[in-house]
Amino acid sequence: MWVPKWQRDRAQGVDSPMPTQVVSNEEFIPRPQNAAQQQVERLIGQMADDNSRKLGIDRRTYLASSMGLAAAFLAQNRVYGNYWDVAEDETLEPKAAEEKWPKGEYFIIDVQAHFTNGLPLGIRGAEFFRNMGFKLKEDPESYSFQNFLKEMYFDSETSMLVISGVPGKEITRDAAGKVLEREARTPGIEGKILPSWVMAERRQEINQLAGCQRALAQGNCAPNHYWDRKNNVPDQAALFEQMEREVKLYKIDSWKWYCHTDPGRSGNGFKLDDEKLTYPFYEQSKRLGLKIFSVHKGYASQSRTLGHLANPADVEKAAKDHPDITFIIYHSAMKHGPGEPQFTEKGYFDPTTGDFAWHDVLMKIKQRNPDIDNVYCEIGSAFGSLAIAHPEMCMHLIGKNVKYYGVDHVLWGTDCLWWGSPQWVIDLMKRFQISDELCEKFGYSKLTKDDKAKIFGLNAAKIYGIDLQAQRNALPDDALSKLKMTYLENGGMRDNAAYGWVRQNV
């Protein structure tokens, strides 16, 4: 018999801030918890019982605290090996964790943050994220702008963020040639996700609410979005009109491209190094004064037939031909995430080299071209999911990014709020370290606090021209910080509830 995970947890007294088993999202029969997962869960439960009793607090409050999270990391270490930097005293003394991992230690700029314009996506149901200990609801509200503010700014240490685009285009004019505005530009589904005009407006709202700059926004326009079907060529007039609108009117801070999608029904995607199709876009963008291009690479399953265009091989020529353009390669080009069946297929990850599909393509580009300095590796979704599902691959991801591109070319992104509040990913990075063994074998470097500071925000600040000193002065007193303080003082905290299905008897 299957029961909701929260119900089973309640019956068994389990309340875990970390995954302790795979939870079904109703698309597959829940798999039984394996021995190691049972052990982790038991250890977390034991520590929660013992420690909450010692501290004189209730169990739930303990597990929602930094001590509870530390207990979960410690339990993982005891079962799987020492992957996480966590000390025993962090599970008992609130100040131990706070001193070791002080809130606000890092200036965090999340360059990959999303919400929707009222559409429930249903993707918060990824099996291993559903049990992360956060309230991963699936209703429209859980993907809304209001929840975005709460989960990104109140429930996490994120200082600034980039509202990051999704596939979709705007219709520029109606049949009579009249320029359309707002909702009329995106009447279809893309209007319900995250069109450029919504990103721009919401960025403005956040910054006005805060009283300082807390958000940046991307624009979705791409080379194949407007197509002249009669002549089977790009409709450059419409394309340039939209580009100008996004840069000048929306004041976007970067483009966000999905080479493997075709919302303009051009009949194909596009490549970054296509001189005929893509280079005119670069040139026009330069003329408009925008030289930051954020490009989704990897996660190839997100396209029906054009997934091969999510391969980062085209970064090489484009980056060499346009040294004045900054290319931010999202997801570090990881081809498949741990939630996909291909992830476990033979050959996807080679433990002898640490290579895995399409991340290796991105790494080899830099190995072949050490002089390339305008390509950055963003780690959204890739880091968090690998840290939980495959810590060894996670070490290779970060180890190689830093080894080949340099620690000043790795950018923090989370893909939240698809996965709830990003605090769990932030905690993962704070405690993350590459093992001695892998450092020795593959020539990786241990990450220092300075390195993490660069990854968390300093690198993005440099790219986006953010005055860090001014931001550090402004943020603590801005309206968002005050609202967050009120939220926390009123007992706002994480809820370790999961809504998937598990076997009742395990």
Partner 1 sequence: MAALVMGVPALSCLVWSESDAPRRLDPAAWGEDHVGRPVPAYTTGDECLFCHRLKIGPTWGANRHARTIRDVEEQSPALDALRQSPGKELAEEIRFVVGGSWRQRFLKPATAYGKLELLSTAWIPPREEQPGRLLSANRPYWDADQFGTSCAGCHATAVTADEQAFSAVSLDCYVCHGNVVPEHATNPELVPLAPRRMAEAREVISICAQCHVRIGKSRSTGRPFPNNFVAGDNLFRDFAVDFSDSAVDSLSTADRHVVENVRDVVLFGKEEVTCLNCHDVHNNSSRKHRRVAKSGLCLNCHHAQGPKRTLKPFSIHSQACGY
Among 19, 45, 125, 223, binds partner 1 (CB under 8 A): 125
Under the criterion CB under 8 A, does residue 173 sit at the interface with partner 1? no
Minimum distance, C-beta of residue 100 to partner 1, in the bound complex (Å):
35
From 52-60, 82-90, 205-213, 303-311, give the range in contact with partner 1 by CB under 8 A: 303-311
Question: What is the sign of the dihedral through the CA atoms of 31, 34, 40 and 41?
Answer: positive
Minimum distance, C-beta of residue 428 to partner 1, in the bound complex (Å):
21
Cα 353 to Cα 112, 313, 376: the distances in Å are: 29, 19, 22
Under the criterion CB under 8 A, does residue 225 sit at the interface with partner 1? no
Minimum distance, C-beta of residue 136 to partner 1, in the bound complex (Å):
13
Under the criterion CB under 8 A, does residue 494 sit at the interface with partner 1? no
By beta-carbon proximity to partner 1, the closer residue of 81 and 267 is 267
Range 390-394, long-range pairs (CB < 8 A, 24+ positions): 390/338, 390/349, 391/80, 391/83, 392/351, 392/438, 393/349, 393/354, 393/356, 394/432
Under the criterion CB under 8 A, does residue 347 sit at the interface with partner 1? no
Tokens for 405, please give them. 């591109």
Residues 90-119 that bind partner 1 (CB under 8 A): 119
Under the criterion CB under 8 A, does residue 267 sit at the interface with partner 1? yes
Pairing of β 215-219 and β 410-411: unpaired
By beta-carbon proximity to partner 1, the closer residue of 153 and 499 is 499
Among 149, 193, 222, 379, binds partner 1 (CB under 8 A): 193
228: enclosing H helix or E strand: strand 227-228
Among 53, 173, 182, 265, binds partner 1 (CB under 8 A): 265
Among 230, 324, 371, 469, binds partner 1 (CB under 8 A): 230
By beta-carbon proximity to partner 1, the closer residue of 293 and 299 is 299
Give Cα 318 distance to the centre of its chain.
Answer: 24
Contact mark string toward partner 1, 198..217, x via CB under 8 A: --------------------
Minimum distance, C-beta of residue 364 to partner 1, in the bound complex (Å):
20
Residues 318-337 that bind partner 1 (CB under 8 A): 336
Contacts of 243 (CB under 8 A, 6+ apart): 221, 281, 284, 285, 288
Distance CA 478, CA 475 (A): 5
Residues 23-62 that bind partner 1 (CB under 8 A): 25, 27
| Radius of gyration, alpha carbons of the chain | 23
Minimum distance, C-beta of residue 255 to partner 1, in the bound complex (Å):
17
Residue where the block lists tokens 């609202």: 483
Nearest to 254 by CA among 217, 223, 289: 217
H helix and E strand count, the chain: 21, 14
Minimum distance, C-beta of residue 357 to partner 1, in the bound complex (Å):
13
By beta-carbon proximity to partner 1, the closer residue of 5 and 296 is 296
Minimum distance, C-beta of residue 167 to partner 1, in the bound complex (Å):
5
Pairing of β 375-378 and β 355-356: unpaired
Under the criterion CB under 8 A, does residue 389 sit at the interface with partner 1? no
Residue where the block lists tokens 């932030």: 426
Among 4, 94, 120, 211, binds partner 1 (CB under 8 A): 120
Q: Kindly report the CA angle at 14 between 12 and 19, in degrees rounded to 5?
A: 130
Under the criterion CB under 8 A, does residue 72 sit at the interface with partner 1? no
Alpha helices in 56-212 (DSSP H): 59-63, 66-80, 94-100, 127-130, 145-149, 190-193, 196-210
Under the criterion CB under 8 A, does residue 339 sit at the interface with partner 1? yes
Under the criterion CB under 8 A, does residue 342 sit at the interface with partner 1? yes
Among 93, 340, 373, 451, binds partner 1 (CB under 8 A): 340
From 68-76, 84-92, 162-170, 423-431, give the range in contact with partner 1 by CB under 8 A: 162-170
Question: What is the sign of the dihedral through the CA atoms of 428, 348, 271 and 168?
Answer: negative
Nearest to 388 by CA among 133, 6, 52, 29: 133
Contacts of 208 (CB under 8 A, 6+ apart): none
By beta-carbon proximity to partner 1, the closer residue of 133 and 234 is 234
By beta-carbon proximity to partner 1, the closer residue of 306 and 474 is 306
- Quickly count: other Cβ atoms within 10 Å of residue 289's Cβ: 8
Contact mark string toward partner 1, 235..264, x via CB under 8 A: -----------------------x-xxxx-
Under the criterion CB under 8 A, does residue 413 sit at the interface with partner 1? no
Contacts of 254 (CB under 8 A, 6+ apart): 162, 216, 218, 219, 290, 292, 293, 294, 328, 464
By beta-carbon proximity to partner 1, the closer residue of 124 and 322 is 124
DSSP 430-499: HHB---HHHHHHH---PPPHHHHHIIIIIHHHHHHT--HHHHHHHGGGSHHHHHHHHHHHTT--------
Q: Do the Cβ atoms of 501 and 9 come closer than 8 Å?
A: no
Among 71, 126, 238, 426, binds partner 1 (CB under 8 A): 126
Minimum distance, C-beta of residue 275 to partner 1, in the bound complex (Å):
18
**Binding region for partner 1 (CB under 8 A):** 25, 27, 119-123, 125-126, 140, 166-168, 188-193, 227, 229-232, 258, 260-263, 265, 267, 299-308, 336, 339-342
